[in-house]
Structure 1
Amino acid sequence: MQSIIPHIMPASAVAVIGAGPSGLAAARWLAQHGFEPVVFEASGRVGGQWNTGAEHSATWPGMRTNTSRVMTVFSDLDYPEGTATYPRHDQVQAYLEAYAEKFGLARCIRFNSAVELLDRAPGHGWLVRSRQNGLEKAEIFVHVVVATGRFVETSMPEIPGLESFVGSLGICHTKDYRGATVYRGKSVLMAGCSISALEIASDIAFGGAAGVLASYRKQRYVLPKLIAGVPTEHVMFTRAAAMAARMLPPDILAAGMRDKVVSVSGSPAQFGAFEPDANIFAAGITQSQHFLPAVAEGRIGVKPWIERIDGRTVHFADGSRAAPDGIVFGTGYKLSLPWLAPEIGRLLAIDGGHIDLHEHTFHPDLPGLAFLGLYDAVGPTFPVLELQARWVAYALSGIRSMPSREAMQQGIEQARAGRGGPTGIPMNMLAMLFAGNAGVEPRLGNWRQIERALLAGPLSPASFRLDGPDAVADAAERVKAAARAFGCITSEDYTSEEGLMRAIVLPNMQAA
């Protein structure tokens, strides 16, 4: 490919790498503000993880979302009427295809076009080398948005003797799970405490396995998908909670969050799992509707982490042993951008879990290059991706000022300081960060009639269409409808707990 003379693209053209949820959101908002997105998609369909035909898809038959239909959306499109509270993976795929059709994005997408190199162009701009159906291309863009997502390269732990395992079902990662049928009548070890690990362990246990063990390094707190019939994110990931997190000292915040989690879901130890660290930030949070009840029923046993493997025998850290037919690793993914030029990768200091960026998006030494959706969000991601896409589009178009070099350098330092800590970030914190940068966080003084819905209700995408660029007339009614869904916020009368939170955060929100 070195011999190909690059084609210089017009200044209005923006390369977007990836046509999953983040890439589609980026293309939609870039097009809205005068750009001509050119989307590079390695597979033959949009959808990213939700496209079962994509090489890196981690969906499985019968898979449902972990977040509700009200929050697994962008602000311009809802699911068809009658969609269940938690849509199937194929319904999410259909939703993304409908979104692409609504905004005419198909004309912008180059399907079966894999990026093989992103590098600085001589002089100015960015060189994108790609291969589409065997044809090599080289193009120079002024702006590039990297939107390939975080869940591409699987992370497998180093365990002594792992390669010696001889169980009949072998070893796989949750990415390769294709349903419980193959595990019926077999014994299975699930290694890991991620959401997918617990969901798949439950699926196998209720799908007829002879026995299921779950092994992990540390016990996380486990939130259910529903709290008294209301999706968990409607209760936990609110605007008021995000504001409180900014204001309260870390130890008080951790204690309050732990109390809230335990009050709605109990401690894992009550179900027969391990006792998590008292500091919820140290322990971490995961989610599954059925895992802890399955532990309580004896359908799933829990073990500490794997010490070593010797043929069929798995030895655990507490000295116990098991001989499963198969091992499934739910140990997450590495942050991987293998087509980045080495110099750029070194500048970003990508280490598999972290990347040095100002507020997850820009770098002061990489002008014209933006990154979208590479963080580990806890909770619904679609609203967050859309807000970040809007910020990028507004910054590139001049609607909002690009962060100063000094501000970005500070952001890089904060990113570096966070290395070694938990990678998961609550979605409400990310949403309000990006909304503030994009200038679309609602001004509560303008919306007294839906104040409780905005503070204590779900952080619905429509709530970011009330004020600022691209506000829409029906946003308030849609905010109210999202809050009333599932009986969450049906009036403007605060509960005592909500009233206390309001008294704490409202003066700061009004001042901001």
Structure 2
Amino acid sequence: MAKTVCIVGAGPSGLVAAKTLLHDTPQHSFKVTIFEAQSRIGGLWPTRKDDAIGLVHPLMVTNQSRHTVQFSDFSWQDSVPQFPKAWQVGQYLEQYTNEYSGADIRLGHKVVKTDLQGDGSWKVEVESSRGSQTETFDYLLVTTGFFGKPIWPVHVPKEADVPIIHSSEYRDLQSLLAQSSHRGGKILVVGGQMSGIETAATIATHLSSAIHSPGKKIIQEPESYSIHHIAHRPSWVFPLFTSPKPAASAPPFLPCDLPSYNLANRPHPLTNSQGHISTEAARTSNSICQSILGTDQGEFSPETKIDGDLLDQQPFVAMSSYYMNLVKSGFIKVINGRLSSFDKNMATLSSPNERISDVAAVVLATGFDPSPALSFLPQSVLETISHSPAHPNLPVALAFHGTHHPSLPTLGFVGLYRSPYWGIMEMQARFVARLWTSNALESESPAFRQAIVDDDTISRTLALRTDPRVSQFPMGDYSFLMQEFSRALDIAITPPLGNTPPLATGKSMDILTPARYPSLSAATGRSPRAAQHTKSNLLATYETALAGLSSGRFVAAAVFRSLLGEWRLERTLSSRLPSHPSGRFSGTARFLLREGTEDGISPALVSKANSDSGPGLGLEYLYTEDGTFTAQDNPQISFRATRRYIWRYDETRDVLSVWFARTDEQDRADYLFHEVEFLPPVDEAETTVQGNTTPLTTGAAVEEKELKKDKRGWLAKASHLCIDDLYNVHYEFNFNAVNLKEWKLGYTVKGPKKDYTISGVYRR
């Protein structure tokens, strides 16, 4: 007879646990009921663009790619970007639930109390719109995660003269400032780790867009606001695309998690790199971060620089495409300190002793307290699992990497893990399912028995609670944990699909993804569809890595991200006609970030992008330059010169484009100037075949070969016919690891009345 299981929570953890119990165990082993307090599944992850009930902004972009944000046997649709938006993750979960049905999911049902019975069963009390009800289950599985309720610092009032909200509530500037009587002032973001950096960047992007977008302003006098980010210490901030070859002159780019989880870079068997961080380990980790980013971050702001004694401290990392350049451009002012009090519109910091006046709003990126998400458990159970509200990063002490407690054999946990957690959730669910399907531990495999015997997770967790050198993600190293679960469960990692071009180390990419550890239903052929989903996941990762390493995919994204801010521009114009004088332009160019606009784009494409399932118009830049042109033959002829363009990045096509600005409204796009075509990379060391030197890529035109000769950096070209004038455009983008340091733009113009060449250099 099937055993009954109560799962608390229909987020990713609850859904993968239900799927595992129903589809990866002997048939009819379990009957699963999921109670979800919200009116939808998904937990944190909203399922629609306009979802307002969750703790995550629907338009937030994941900080890990879909190759990590995946379950092993369910693939993403090809149309979804590498880094899905939160609402797309919610829809992935809806599709996953439909694919692997069978659980009784009861929405709008909140578990308020559970009681452990003498026979090990659980009496569960649930409240819904129909009142209270109680049912009894053989097993209880807790999948409520870390996000019980937002943490509100005790020294910050709930109400003040200005709006104060938690970062989970932030949606847009209009709603943030709606209740403010102030016009202009400082928007404070409090909290220096991942959510603080992400929130500060989001608000700064919204403010930049409010200032630089055409049409009616969404808030009054947006230029009178500034953003101040209070962080107690700097973090390493990684963009979403990084390079596995950061020292290359033309570095290839991949979604950040693919190089991070390249198993070829680590000795095997893997050892845990998280938990207690020694000084030596900290120095090594900080050195790796600096190598990947190519900087100690001091070039962006003294407050973001990591050097000196900070290199001996355990590193903190965050993900954001635009944060660092928003800091450099002055849109975000970073203050290293701690908020000690807030009164009226004045913030006081304890370190340094500083006051910040004229505050217009406060956004608290202070994390979450997981304790409320466990409040339905009996006090005796909470004591058994060493529950501690004082340690929100390590709220309970559970065996084998957060899955169970030996004293409570009918209680399991899935999803109590911080860091890239989709693969870990799936492994935790498999481990709990194995525990509950075993008639006796003695009948289990030697590996499973030994894993339980050797496990020291509970004692290690308790020790880390008071360790001053505990890591940012203390529960464990993602790759190491996947290895340990696979050993215990006898799930061998499958080989990567195909070979990628070798890295500087001479090794190919060996990228860890959840699909490398197939589910039982996929591995045994029990579910051909599951096997096909697993294969699709593996193929998607291989094709992504291959495209990034061999054809320059994602370079356009890396360039677009890194353009933000101000550049010094020197440009020469050499004319062969007297009607266009030769000369030199010297000035500044600025790339001003804003939300994508519809101007110049076909209505059909706009409608598709903005549909319920569309990706939206993304972000774009208003490009402005201002400086002085001096004639070559007559230096006394000198005048101010300005230009404006709109730069766009089409994520779906991975294409960077430049658009002419309208003459009547110069902050609006008029029509397409050109699309930037990045040239296929040629290995810096050319290969020789029978004495003939040939590039590693084929099909390159002679012009492209000549353009690449003796060049460094990524090269690109474009062409545009403007009435009778032909513009041939050439680019060279020079990176230092992930950041553009210098780039060149030149073009020749030929026509009945034009014959000149322009060559410009942009430097930070």
TM bucket by the smaller chain? 0.7 to 0.9
Question: CA 1:38 to 1:55, structure 2 compared with 1: closer, same or farther past 3 Å?
Answer: farther
Q: What's the TM-score once normalised by structure 1's chain length?
A: 0.83
Question: Does the CA-based 8 Å contact 1:465-1:471 persist in structure 2?
Answer: no
Q: What's 2:754 paired with?
A: none
Q: What's 2:34 paired with?
A: 39
- Encode CA deviations 1:89-112: one digit per residue, 9 max, x unaligned: 22111111000001114x521221
- Pairing 1:97-496 to 2, within 5 Å after superposition: 97-105=94-102, 107-159=103-155, 162-163=156-157, 166-168=160-162, 170-182=163-175, 187-208=186-207, 210-228=225-243, 229-240=253-264, 246=271, 250-265=278-293, 266-272=295-301, 273-276=303-306, 278-279=310-311, 282-303=314-335, 304-316=337-349, 317-323=351-357, 324-336=359-371, 337-352=374-389, 353=392, 354=394, 355-358=396-399, 359-377=401-419, 380-398=420-438, 407=453, 410-420=456-466, 421-422=470-471, 424=473, 425-442=476-493, 456-465=509-518, 470=523, 478-486=537-545, 487-488=547-548
Once residues 205 and 389 of structure 1 are traced to their aligned partners in structure 2, the CA distance between those partners, rounded to angstroms, is 39
Once residues 298 and 87 of structure 1 are traced to their aligned partners in structure 2, the CA distance between those partners, rounded to angstroms, is 28
Question: CA 1:251 to 1:476, structure 2 compared with 1: closer, same or farther past 3 Å?
Answer: farther
Once residues 58 and 141 of structure 1 are traced to their aligned partners in structure 2, the CA distance between those partners, rounded to angstroms, is 30
2:15 aligned to 24, 34, 40, which one? 24
- Encode CA deviations 1:261-287: one digit per residue, 9 max, x unaligned: 112223233310334453476242222
The aligned amino acid for 1:16 is: I
- Pairing 1:77-88 to 2, within 5 Å after superposition: 77-88=74-85
Question: Does the CA-based 8 Å contact 1:457-1:489 persist in structure 2?
Answer: no
Q: CA deviation at 1:389?
A: 1.3
Q: What's the TM-score once normalised by structure 2's chain length?
A: 0.57
The Cα RMSD (Å) is: 3.3
Structure 1 unaligned segments of length 5 or more: list them.
1-9, 496-512
The SS at the match of 1:269 is coil
- Encode CA deviations 1:114-169: one digit per residue, 9 max, x unaligned: 1111221133222222123333222222222111111121122233xx2287343x
Question: Rg bigger for which structure?
Answer: 2
Question: CA 1:318 to 1:278, structure 2 compared with 1: closer, same or farther past 3 Å?
Answer: closer
Question: Does the CA-based 8 Å contact 1:221-1:280 persist in structure 2?
Answer: no
Question: CA 1:262 to 1:465, structure 2 compared with 1: closer, same or farther past 3 Å?
Answer: same
Structure 2 unaligned segments of length 5 or more: list them.
178-183, 208-221, 244-252, 526-530, 552-682, 684-764
Once residues 59 and 431 of structure 2 are traced to their aligned partners in structure 1, the CA distance between those partners, rounded to angstroms, is 35
The aligned amino acid for 2:538 is: V
The aligned amino acid for 1:221 is: W
Higher helix share: 1
Question: CA 1:400 to 1:202, structure 2 compared with 1: closer, same or farther past 3 Å?
Answer: farther
Q: CA deviation at 1:299?
A: 0.7
Question: Does the CA-based 8 Å contact 1:49-1:58 persist in structure 2?
Answer: yes
1:74 aligned to 71, 78, 82, which one? 71
The SS at the match of 1:370 is strand
The aligned amino acid for 1:274 is: T
Q: CA deviation at 1:222?
A: 1.7
Question: Does the CA-based 8 Å contact 1:281-1:422 persist in structure 2?
Answer: no
Question: CA 1:271 to 1:75, structure 2 compared with 1: closer, same or farther past 3 Å?
Answer: same
Higher strand share: 2
Question: CA 1:365 to 1:489, structure 2 compared with 1: closer, same or farther past 3 Å?
Answer: farther
Q: CA deviation at 1:381?
A: 2.2
Question: Does the CA-based 8 Å contact 1:188-1:212 persist in structure 2?
Answer: yes
Higher relative contact order (CA 8 A, sep 6+): 1
The aligned amino acid for 1:226 is: F
Q: Percent identity?
A: 24
Q: How many residues align?
A: 475
- Encode CA deviations 1:353-408: one digit per residue, 9 max, x unaligned: 2211012111111111111111222xx32222112212222232239566589738
Question: Does the CA-based 8 Å contact 1:12-1:35 persist in structure 2?
Answer: yes
Once residues 241 and 347 of structure 2 are traced to their aligned partners in structure 1, the CA distance between those partners, rounded to angstroms, is 35
